[in-house]
Amino acid sequence: MKLLVPMPYDLRSIEHGRNLRIVHLLQQLSKDDEITIVVADAPSAEPVRDALPGVNVELAQPGGASSDDALSSLSAPIRRALAFFGDDAPLRQAMALRLSAADVVLGFGLPSLGTLIAAKHGVPGLPVVCDLIDDPWLTWQSVRRSERWSTTGFKAALCIQLLRRFALRHMDALVAVAPRDAGTLERATGVPTAVVPNGVDASEIDPSSIEREATVAFTGAMDFPPNEAAACYFARRVWPLVLERCSDTQPPTFAIIGANPTPQVQALASIPGVRVTGRVDDVKHELQRARVAVAPMVSGSGLKNKILEACAAGTPVVANPLGVGGLPTGDAHGIKVTHTGSEMAEQVFELLTQPARAQQLGHAGWQMIRRDFTWTHAADTFRRLLKAVSAPATTGAMLSLTQATIRREALLNAAS
């Protein structure tokens, strides 16, 4: 299968969750499929080649199709909404020259959408798939209220709604990382939406034998509003309840691990037992030192890489329902779900004071990652979708695949 991929992103920062997903999926897909990535200029090409060695990267050349004509059928408000997210005319021109050689066009996120729509209309019948990762509307709802209702935030809301309602319907299929995002996207667009979760690299060596400390870990980029809110919630509302229960045991530590902590996160270090690390050399090493990890999310969407990373390190996870969207939970998967701050404190206390129990749950989570959440597994799911959408006779199979995936994840969560 020949995949043509427009790339409007700078892939130098592999720590960015979106870039991590793009690089790992394309690396895996390139083992069996021929991938051509198109970039608008030479400076954009170098980081793509560095991140994806061996994948064909081509630059825009003068003389492509008129970028004005490519999107002329769209209304002016939709064109402005595309421009708001960085629609790239040179990238559209470069893509137009290569469409006839592709079996499927695959793009990532709203900045790719204008190029994908132009490709769809440039070669009628050419399948076009957009991996949105998260539902952009749910993502918008997760940012700080002051940012949501700023002038820029209000414009973003209008543009997102326009694109969800009127532009995404041009796609043959959409992709999201979690059932909640897939469900809201499919209802808003009417386009079949598949769930392709993120992956993580699990250690070949069982980490359950590692000596652990009485530490509770929370990881992520600490300038990301949902992570900031979660860290503040746990440190101020849940952590004091944990310390009360631990009054007769060794005082534990709550480690907030992640780059760029905001002033609000840095201030949490004044709370007894709270440590704010900032950027660390190896998050996996920090997780392997911890006895338990937490995902006390109060906002956000999608599938939480922090939970996958903790499970891959053999560290049991205590989370709330928003934190575990799209993941199987329960003792068999190393993830305990709680519904109140008091319940979360109790589960954290039990795992801190019962090392054998924590080790058992951590081992179950590690096995789950190796079985169901590697990048190879994610790419295999993605490849099945791409093959289905590229064969008109298998549209029904594509629908069955996407809907069965959503149902499976929902049933796993309900059962746990």
What is the overall mean pLDDT for the chain?
88
Which comes out higher in pLDDT, residue 319 or 416? 319
DSSP 37: E
Query: Could you identify the residue written with the tokens 């400076």?
Result: 43
- pLDDT score at 208: 75
Residues 6+ apart with CB under 8 A from 25: 131, 196, 375, 378, 379, 382
Over residues 4-38, the pLDDT tens digits come to 999 999 887 766 678 889 999 999 999 999 999 99
The answer to whether the Cα torsion of 165, 168, 172, 175 is positive or negative is negative
CB 136 within 8 A of CB 146: no
Residues 6+ apart with CB under 8 A from 75: 166
Element (H, E) at 407: helix 395-415
β partners of residue 290 = 213
- pLDDT score at 14: 66
- pLDDT above 70 (res 212): yes
- pLDDT score at 340: 96
Q: What angle do CA 113, 90, 82 make, to 5 degrees?
A: 30
- pLDDT score at 349: 97
pLDDT band (50, 70, 90) for residue 325: confident
- pLDDT above 90 (res 404): no
pLDDT band (50, 70, 90) for residue 407: very low
pLDDT band (50, 70, 90) for residue 166: very high
Cα 348 to Cα 316: distance, rounded to the nearest angstrom: 10
- pLDDT score at 172: 95
Three-state DSSP class for residue 311: helix
Please report, for residues 17, 37, 130, 302, the alpha-carbon distance to residue 26 in angstroms, rounded to integers and kept in the order given.
14, 10, 14, 20
Work out the average pLDDT over 28-49: 91
* Total residues found in the chain within this entry: 416
Which comes out higher in pLDDT, residue 277 or 411? 277
CB 194 within 8 A of CB 181: no
Cα 107 to Cα 129: distance, rounded to the nearest angstrom: 6
Q: What is the pTM of this model?
A: 0.83
Work out the average pLDDT over 46-55: 90
Over residues 237-257, the pLDDT tens digits come to 999 999 999 987 788 999 999
pLDDT band (50, 70, 90) for residue 89: confident
Over residues 257-294, the pLDDT tens digits come to 999 999 999 999 999 999 999 999 999 999 999 999 99
Q: Could you tell me the two tokens for 184? A: 């809201």
Over residues 302-324, the pLDDT tens digits come to 678 899 999 999 999 999 998 88
Work out the average pLDDT over 108-123: 93
* Amino acid residing at 66: S
End-to-end alpha-carbon separation of the chain, Å? 38
